[in-house]
Amino acid sequence: MAEKSMISIPYSQYLMEMRSGKIFQIDEGFTEILGYTQEDIDAGLVFKQLVPDVEYNAIIDELKEQFIEKSYVCYQHEMYTKTGDTTEVVSFIRIQNKLLNGHRVLKVSIASLNDYEKDM
């Protein structure tokens, strides 16, 4: 039987407004994976700035469709780092039962696949 091992994968959780995509809370993993800091968040970083245009439209369409029937969705996509490079992630997005300035809040968990694939 082959030996199995656990591999640590960089991950992050952040909060954003559903309608505007404005990110308003990040953790240390967000900075580790994407390079953006709290100062970038305070300056008004939005989700659309983090994903390629082609993927952004597909992601938004998928979210609209999936959120009709359930409060979460999971998918794999690319995100831009602060340096302009792209990184492959898996995102798990859940609608929260709270509002911020009248807008629904999304809790997003991401895991970086780039480091994982290097270890494979």
Q: How many domains does the chain have?
A: 1
Q: By residue range, what is the domain housing residue 72?
A: 11-119
Report field, pTM of the whole predicted structure over 0.75: yes
Q: What is the pLDDT of residues 71-106, one digit of tens each?
A: 999 989 999 999 999 999 999 999 988 777 888 899
- The owner of tokens 């953006």 is 36
Q: Is residue 1 domain-resident?
A: no
What is the domain-level CATH number for residue 109? 3.30.450.20
Q: Is residue 3 domain-resident?
A: no
Q: How far is CA 4 from CA 8, 11, 79, 102, in A?
A: 13, 21, 29, 47
Q: How far is CA 39 from the centre of its chain?
A: 18
Q: What is the pLDDT of residues 9-38, one digit of tens each?
A: 899 999 999 888 999 999 999 999 999 999
